[in-house]
């Protein structure tokens, strides 16, 4: 894979043409713009799938959720599958539970599984 780093977000394209976006640390107002940029590029890339690896995210707020929901719409519009991958830290899982948005996304237990589910 070749990777592009933007803050705590690293984007890679696998040899199969799958975009993998790996996020580390916290997702908040300061770091979410990097996620938004990566997901916008992924939606416009023409790949068949984007996997967002959230397993290393310790905290996430509503700005990150907004970015993921916006990316979901953009990916749907281009016919690209968007898969969120865990396992999720408890604070991140709680965001999806409290907002009742978990069902809006395709999920995988790991980034590796997300590439084939």
Give the 3-state DSSP-derived string for 60-89, with helices as H, strands as E and coil as C.
Answer: ECHHHHHHHHHHHHHHHHHCCEEEEECCCC
Q: Is the pLDDT of residue 1 over 60?
A: no
Return mean pLDDT, the chain.
94
In the block, tokens 């996430």 appear at: 60
Cα–Cα distance, 55 to 22 (Å, whole number): 8
| Whole-number Å distance between alpha carbons of 59 and 91 | 6
pLDDT digits (tens, 9 = 90+) for 50-73: 999 999 999 999 999 999 999 999
Q: What is the pTM of this model?
A: 0.93
For the segment 15-35, the average pLDDT, to the nearest whole number, is: 94
């Amino acid at each position: 894979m070749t990777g592009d780093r933007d803050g705590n977000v690293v984007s890679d394209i696998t040899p199969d043409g799958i975009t993998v976006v790996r996020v580390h640390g916290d997702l908040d107002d300061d770091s979410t713009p990097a996620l938004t940029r990566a997901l916008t590029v992924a939606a416009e890339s023409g790949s068949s799938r984007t996997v967002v690896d959230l397993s290393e995210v310790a905290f996430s707020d509503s700005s990150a959720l907004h970015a993921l929901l916006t990316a979901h719409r953009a990916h749907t519009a281009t016919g690209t599958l968007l898969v969120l991958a865990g396992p999720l830290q408890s604070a991140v899982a709680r965001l999806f539970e409290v907002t009742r948005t978990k069902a809006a996304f395709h999920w995988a237990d790991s980034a590796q599984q997300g590439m084939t589910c």
